[in-house]
Every structure is written in structure tokens, then in C-alpha cells.
Amino acid sequence: MERFLAAVEKQAYQMAVIAMGNADGALDLVQDAMLGLVRQYASRPETEWRPLFFRILQSRIRDWHRRERVRRRWRGWLEQWRSGEAEEEADPFHEVPAAETCNPARQVEGGAALAALVAELKKLPLRQQQTFLLRAWQGLSVEETAVAMGCTAGSVKTHYSRAVHALRQQLEGHWP
Amino acid sequence: MKKDKDEQEFLAAVRRALDGGGDQLDAATRHRLARARMRAVEEGFSPKTSRRRFRLLAPFVATLAMVLVAAALFFQGGSGVTPPATEMTADLEIITAAEAPDFYADLEFYQWLAEGEEHAG
């Protein structure tokens, strides 16, 4: 089990950083996913670990996004309540991530081509982004990706095809 | 045909770049990942005392959170900022749920997994 986790941890971390834009949060999330796999599925055949691990990771990423949305909404209400300026629109600068959370991808990004790829991946909708990474990078089959993403095989094909199309269109200058 | 070949080349370049990104992770991050892995293996195979303790505390934490939110809304007074009731209920469920939100969406998956185990065993 430890050998398997050592083989996937860096990739899982990169996927979480791309999805969350937050290096510390990504580390916690990967640890949580590893813990989930050990606790729930250590007794399953080794061939199943990869799709199960990525399923747990995807589930944690989705939960994180849901909670972030809720937190942002509550923060907005509380700030309005505190300032008593209910009529005012929410300050758009509050939606901009803090400086340190803007840059975690620095650790992931190396050359200019990788930087461009990561930037374009971050622009994709979360499902397209993660489907693309699971299929193109992790080499999961359509069915395994569907299990990992908790959706149908048809959805996986659609998300993947849209992601490939969008990335190729945007990265023409940097890539073959 | 050429289109397929172009796409394969593109995907191979993506894989190379992302693999390279993993190799470029700094020593501190690699060390923290290794520590996280060891902790996960250690905790994962140990008895679940802390989880059990959390499960016992969860109802009290949930009740306390609801009381605090109700108090905040009560004292909000005339500021005019009232979150929609349905959104609040959904938010409270997410914030206070002992189960992860995806658990409910994943019930079919757990059913599938259980069926697999039945067939295997």
C-alpha cells in the first residue's frame, strides 16, 4: 500500500493544486484521500486501488469546492452585516485569491510550456479539468474515470473531448 | 488520420510536461508528502478511536452551530441582509453534516462496491 501511495502522491498533489489553487490545502486533501484509501479499501485487490484512490481524491476536491462556495457566501453576508452597508454590491476584490494562494502552482510549474498548460487547465470547468487529467495523465480508462468522477461513461467522453479541444486551441503556440 | 496523430503527440507532450512538474517539486513539499503518506498508513491501519470520538461529538457540534447561526440572524436586526431560507438550510446541512457531502451522492457507488464484494466472496 505504501509503495502505491508513494507512486501516486506527487501526481495527486499536482492535480489538487490545479483544482484548488492552494498548496497547503492540496497537501491536506491528498493526505485525507490516502487515509481514506487505507481505511476503506486496503483489503481490495491492488488493481482497484488506482481508480478508488482517485475517486476519493475527486470526492474531496468537490467537497472542498462546495464548502468554499458556502464559506464565501457566508463571509459576504457577515461582512455586509458588520459594515451595515446592505445596499452595496459585494467588493469584487474579495473574490481575488490572496497573493500566496495565487502562486502555489509555482511549485508545479517548471518551464514556460508547463506554465501555459497549468494556466489553461485552471481555466477549464472543474469536471473537464479533472476528467482530462485522469484520462490523459493518469491513463484511467473511460469506465475507471467514470467511477472516479462519479458520473457516466458518456459524460466522461464529453468532458474529455471538450477539454482536449479547448486545450489544443489555447496552447497552439506552445505545443505540437 | 493526421488529426489523430497530432492529438496523440499533443497528449504525449502534456504527459511529459506534467511528469516534469512532479520532478520539479521542491524538497520541502516532497518531504511533507512523504510524511503525510506515512501518517495516512499509520492512522489508516490503527483502531478508529478518534473517528469514534468525533462521531459522538458531532450531534453536539451541529446543535451548537445551529444555535450560533440562529443567534447571529436574530441579532442581525434591521440591517436588511437576509439570506434566503432554502440556501441557509442547505448550507447548514453541509456545514454541520457528520458525513461528507459526497457520501449522499455516492450511495449508488457504495451499493455497486457491496455487490462486487458479494460476488467476490
Q: What does the alpha-carbon distance between residue A26 and residue A22 come to, in Å, rounded to a whole number?
A: 6
CA distance B62 to chain A (A): 16
What is the number of other CB atoms lying within 10 angstroms of the CB of residue B63?
Answer: 11
Question: What's the complex ipTM?
Answer: 0.73
Name which of A113, A155, A107, A110 is nearest A135 in CA terms.
Answer: A155
- N-to-C CA span, chain A: 37
CB burial of residue A30 (10 Å; 0-12, 13-18, 19+): buried
Q: Do B14 and A167 count as a contact with CB atoms less than 8 A apart?
A: yes
On whether any CB of chain B is under 8 Å from the CB of A8, the answer is: no
Q: Do B22 and A14 count as a contact with CB atoms less than 8 A apart?
A: yes
Radius of gyration, alpha carbons of chain B: 24
**pLDDT at residue B21 is higher than 90:** no
CA distances from B65 to A70, A116, B58, B81, B94 (A): 15, 43, 10, 20, 12
Residues of B in contact with A147 (CB under 8 A): 109
On whether any CB of chain B is under 8 Å from the CB of A120, the answer is: no
On whether any CB of chain B is under 8 Å from the CB of A67, the answer is: yes
CB under 8 A, 24+ apart: contacts of B64-73: B65/B92, B65/B95, B65/B96, B66/B92, B66/B96, B72/A81
Rounded average pLDDT over B15-35: 89
CA distance A10 to chain B (A): 6
Q: To the nearest 10°, the Cα dihedral for A144, A148, A150, A156?
A: -60
What is the number of other CB atoms lying within 10 angstroms of the CB of residue A95?
Answer: 9
Of A9, A113, A176, nearest to B37 by CB-CB distance is A9
Rounded to the nearest 10 degrees, the angle between the axes of helix A49-83 and helix A142-149 is 40
- Half-sphere exposure at residue B96, Cβ-oriented, CA atoms within 13 angstroms: 18
pLDDT in tens, A130-147: 999 999 999 999 999 999
Mean pLDDT computed over every residue of chain A: 83
Name which of A61, A53, A55 is nearest A16 in CA terms.
Answer: A61
Strand locations in B1-121, DSSP E?
none
Residues of B in contact with A6 (CB under 8 A): 34, 37
Q: What does the alpha-carbon distance between residue B89 and residue B92 come to, in Å, rounded to a whole number?
A: 5
Helix (H) or strand (E) holding B20: helix B2-23
Q: Is A43 helix (H, G, I), strand (E, B) or coil?
A: coil
pLDDT in tens, A3-61: 999 999 999 999 999 999 888 899 999 999 999 999 989 889 988 899 999 999 999 99
The pLDDT, as a whole number, for residue A98 is 46
Residues of A in contact with B121 (CB under 8 A): none
pLDDT in tens, B55-112: 667 777 788 888 887 887 776 655 555 556 666 666 666 666 655 556 656 666 666 6
On whether any CB of chain B is under 8 Å from the CB of A155, the answer is: no
- Half-sphere exposure at residue A158, Cβ-oriented, CA atoms within 13 angstroms: 8
Which residue of chain A has the CA closest to B20? Answer: A110
- N-to-C CA span, chain B: 46
> Is the separation of the CB atoms in B91 and A72 below 8 Å?
no
On whether any CB of chain B is under 8 Å from the CB of A150, the answer is: yes
CA distance B57 to chain A (A): 20
On whether any CB of chain B is under 8 Å from the CB of A7, the answer is: no
- Stretch among A70-74, A106-110, B60-64 having the lowest mean pLDDT: A106-110
Residue type, A75: R
Q: Do A35 and B91 count as a contact with CB atoms less than 8 A apart?
A: no
Q: Where are the alpha helices (DSSP H) in chain A?
A: 2-20, 23-41, 49-83, 99-102, 105-108, 112-123, 126-132, 142-149, 153-170
The pLDDT, as a whole number, for residue A56 is 94
Residue type, A174: H
Q: How many CB pairs under 8 A join A and B?
A: 141
